[in-house]
Structure 1
Amino acid sequence: GTPDYDPLHRLRPLYDSLRVACKALYHPRKNLSVDERMVATKAKIGVKQYIKSKPTKWGIKLFVLSDTTGYTTDFHIYTGRSTQKTGKGLSFDAVMSLINKDYLGSGYHIYCDNFYTSPALFCHLHKLGFGACGTFRNSRVGVPKTTKNALTKKSPRGSIRWLREGPLIFVKWMDTREVSVCSTVHTAFKGDAVRRVGKAGGQHQVLYVPVPSAVRDYNCFMGGVDLSDQLIGSYTSWRKCKKWYKTVLHHFIDIAVTNSYLIHKEMCAQLEQQAPTHQAFQEQLTVALCGVEPQAAPTTSYRHLPVAVFEGASGEDKATKGRRKCKLCGKCTPFMCEACKLPLCVIVDRNCHKDFHSSSGHVLLT
């Protein structure tokens, strides 16, 4: 109940060391994205959150900074209201807790959704040397409220309106609905177009609609955290357990393994080698960590013996079920070679099985 209490004290040593490792072992690319991630749990703890719009509604919320490749550059576990408030809101504090100029440097472009976007945040990032782009809500403090020359529901697809205030540019674009984007690194329009299918002259046709460069880049670079979630969910180490901190521990393992896989892919690309699949990489990693020798796949040895093409037939089916054309003489036979899987006759006046293996150099084992 004191201000010094740490709800993550069980995880703090591993939590801190993993964050340091994520930042130390990989140099992120220019475009980064910030989004939240949920670690599913319904444990009765104070850090549990509920987000209605997420597929995982109940769980522990993480604010994640990710590269476009899906690499988790940094993350922060949300434990509730902070005792040291900046007075600019949770979204401002969440982004600034992940953006550290000491290890990132400057010149990066940060992409985020409308939960984080605010003029105060983007102006502060601009002063630190970071570009920013994201969708915004009209109710945010500092967003222009003018309705002069604004878009309406009847505005044609591809219509663009924008306002500039200092380093900020507010762009609104009409697609199937209105899209609002704020940026400090883009101009309003560079002549780009996006492919759409719409009606023209009573028929469906392919249309090329003008699109602002901020919207195009947002769609291209915003999915880093979602890609990371997809990679983590493909081969997760999560197992059902009663302790919530064990669930978070499994998620830490998934972050470490996924980041290792992405670094391995980068190294293979630099060496011009074929990178293994995600599953193959995790199998090799498991074998290496356990200190055991990889086991070869079991092979089944067959001898060149005549066996029935179809086993288990009864009654009249014994003579006709599964009959195939003999590989040597072309006549129907119910027998095949156990090793070669080829239909070959074995009857009193015609032994194609023996003739085939003798002529093709096979050793007939009895």
Structure 2
Amino acid sequence: FCVQIFSRVYFYFYTLITTTKRCAFVEYRDRDVDMAPQALRFLPAQEPGQQLRPCDAHTPMSLFKRFFSETAVSTLCRNTNAQAARVRAKEHKYKWTDVSISELYCYFGLLFYMAMLKLRSIRDYWRQDNLFSVSFPATIMSRDRYRTISWNLHMSHPDADQDNDRKRGTAEHDRLFRVRPLMDTIRHACKAIYHPRKNLAVDERMVACKAHTGMTQYMKAKPTRWGFKLFVLADSSNGYTVDFAVYTGKNNFPTGHGLSYDAVTSLLDRTVLGSGYHVYMDNFYTSPKLLSDLFALKFGACGTYRDNRKDYKHLVFVKWMDTQEVSVCSTIHAAYTGDTVQRRVKTQNGWRTKSFPCPAPVTAYNQHMGGVDLSDQLLQYYSTQHKTMKWYRKLFLHFLDIAATNAFIVHKELYGTMNHKEFMEELIAELCGVSQKIPPKWTSVDHVPVPGA
């Protein structure tokens, strides 16, 4: 395990040299004492945590409606009905009844139901002639009604879509126009309902999609390799999605400082968040300029980096050899504060556990960088994602997942009485307007009890 430090101030540090034959502990010294960068005072714009009135009763559905409000769903209904009218004008035999707000909430409930109870195809949820048939979806709406709503679901007005399509190839064209109305609503709700705690994480998230849109990306290191790439800001303490931005191309962030720089700065709005936050990121984003500029904006930052970059004011550079080399840059921490890690080492008498010094930036990075990964994990438990012909429907389903997951996190903050599965079950029941305790279809037996059996 090797620790190597590059900083504006120098200090004592240690190197453990290990080979198959020997283990040596070497101490290095330099002139000055290790000092942490100037501490930033934590001044959030609002009290961290949920921003709801504690005297109100908040059910899973009422929290979900904070993201998918009746106003937002009314817009979805209006645009969906307009799209169906266009299709009906072309195909006179096409049957359609305008969808209502309550019916669309039931539709959402079925999507979450299918997320919890996985079957091989959508039509299997309405099949009654096989061994694994389920009865619940048919009690909410017919299969044909579910499919026609899915086909016509629109987040923007079809006429406005055509106007935007005419601008293709110009600077005025918006690639995300079809999802923009709902996306902006969800982003605003994420920031209004919950204010994050001090430690934040920035990372990419992939939404699976192989449609040829010009926006889909390939990321070899991600579990989902093909899809839409989102830059996500998450609360490291619980995985709450604070904000996100969908990547549409290099021209999406045109400030001239590079994609990674612009992605981070676009998510960190000081007027919304406040100041003094600690932001953790990986080596795709970390650069001395970004960390220095964030420090000037009263944001501390810490992240892994790729090169040995030195001689930047307020920055501490740490290189530490664990199972592989780890390089971290920070405007928050001193290089070493006494942290240790446990590792198994081989000695002449066999393997034993030993403590080794670990740089403070590495310890903090490992502790707080997982905010987006935790968020992704919660999203995947009951994700509504499934195969669909329309690329914008993929993002719509992801917005549903964000709303349900963030609603669960807020509910847990408020009450802590439900686990994730119980929350989703209650949400489905409320959206569909049914009770969770559905009585069995048959209440009598068709045989005569045998005495003494």
Q: TM-score range by the shorter chain?
A: 0.7 to 0.9
**How many Å separate the matches in 2 of 1:50 and 1:201?**
48
Query: Relative to structure 1, is the Cα distance of residues 27 and 304 closer, same or farther in structure 2, using a 3 angstrom cutoff?
Result: farther
Does 1:112 find its partner at 2:281? Answer: yes
* Amino acid paired to 1:77: V
* Match runs of 1:282-301 below 5 Å: 282-296=424-438, 298=440
Aligned counterpart, 2:359: 212
Question: Which residue of 415, 419, 422 maps to 1:268?
Answer: 415
Question: Which residue of 233, 245, 258 maps to 2:392?
Answer: 245
| Residue 202 (structure 1) shift | 4.4
Does 1:233 find its partner at 2:375? Answer: no
- SS at 1:29 equivalent: coil
Say which is worse superposed, 276-285 or 27-36, in terms of deviation: 276-285
**How many Å separate the matches in 2 of 1:205 and 1:300?**
63
Query: Relative to structure 1, is the Cα distance of residues 285 and 181 closer, same or farther in structure 2, using a 3 angstrom cutoff?
Result: same
Aligned residues of 1:169 and 1:188 also touching (Cα < 8 A): yes
Does 1:78 find its partner at 2:78? Answer: no
**How many Å separate the matches in 1 of 2:439 and 2:274?**
48
**How many Å separate the matches in 2 of 1:256 and 1:171?**
38
* Match runs of 1:59-70 below 5 Å: 59-68=227-236, 69-70=238-239
- SS at 2:437 equivalent: coil
| Larger Rg computed on CA atoms | 1
Aligned residues of 2:344 and 2:354 also touching (Cα < 8 A): yes
* Amino acid paired to 2:346: K
Aligned counterpart, 2:206: 38
Q: Structure 1 unaligned segments of length 5 or more: list them.
A: 145-163, 270-274, 308-335, 338-366
Query: Relative to structure 1, is the Cα distance of residues 129 and 61 closer, same or farther in structure 2, using a 3 angstrom cutoff?
Result: same
**How many Å separate the matches in 1 of 2:437 and 2:175?**
43
| Residue 237 (structure 1) shift | 1.0
- SS at 1:82 equivalent: helix
| Residue 173 (structure 1) shift | 1.4
| Residue 213 (structure 1) shift | 1.1
Aligned counterpart, 1:122: 291
**How many Å separate the matches in 2 of 1:110 and 1:256?**
23
**How many Å separate the matches in 1 of 2:188 and 2:402?**
13
- SS at 1:276 equivalent: coil
| Residue 105 (structure 1) shift | 0.3
Q: TM-score by structure 1 length?
A: 0.73
* Amino acid paired to 1:195: Q
**How many Å separate the matches in 2 of 1:33 and 1:219?**
11
Say which is worse superposed, 12-21 or 79-88, in terms of deviation: 79-88
- SS at 2:355 equivalent: strand
Q: TM-score by structure 2 length?
A: 0.60
Identity over aligned pairs, percent: 53
Say which is worse superposed, 78-87 or 231-240, in terms of deviation: 78-87
Question: Which residue of 203, 217, 235 maps to 1:49?
Answer: 217
Aligned counterpart, 1:327: none
Does 1:257 find its partner at 2:404? Answer: yes
* Amino acid paired to 2:425: E
Aligned counterpart, 1:185: 332
Does 1:199 find its partner at 2:346? Answer: yes
| Residue 280 (structure 1) shift | 1.2
* Amino acid paired to 2:240: Y
Q: Structure 2 unaligned segments of length 5 or more: list them.
A: 1-168
Aligned residues of 2:253 and 2:259 also touching (Cα < 8 A): no
**How many Å separate the matches in 2 of 1:254 and 1:83?**
24
- Kindly report structure 1 stretches of 4+ aligned residues shifted beyond 4 Å: 299-307
Does 1:23 find its partner at 2:191? Answer: yes
Say which is worse superposed, 1-10 or 291-300, in terms of deviation: 291-300
| Residue 178 (structure 1) shift | 1.9
| Residue 287 (structure 1) shift | 1.4
Does 1:224 find its partner at 2:371? Answer: yes
* Amino acid paired to 1:97: S
Aligned residues of 1:3 and 1:83 also touching (Cα < 8 A): no
Question: Which residue of 277, 285, 309 maps to 2:419?
Answer: 277
Query: Relative to structure 1, is the Cα distance of residues 300 and 182 closer, same or farther in structure 2, using a 3 angstrom cutoff?
Result: farther
Aligned residues of 2:315 and 2:330 also touching (Cα < 8 A): yes
Does 1:3 find its partner at 2:145? Answer: no
Aligned residues of 2:288 and 2:312 also touching (Cα < 8 A): no
Query: Relative to structure 1, is the Cα distance of residues 283 and 83 closer, same or farther in structure 2, using a 3 angstrom cutoff?
Result: closer
Aligned residues of 1:33 and 1:223 also touching (Cα < 8 A): yes
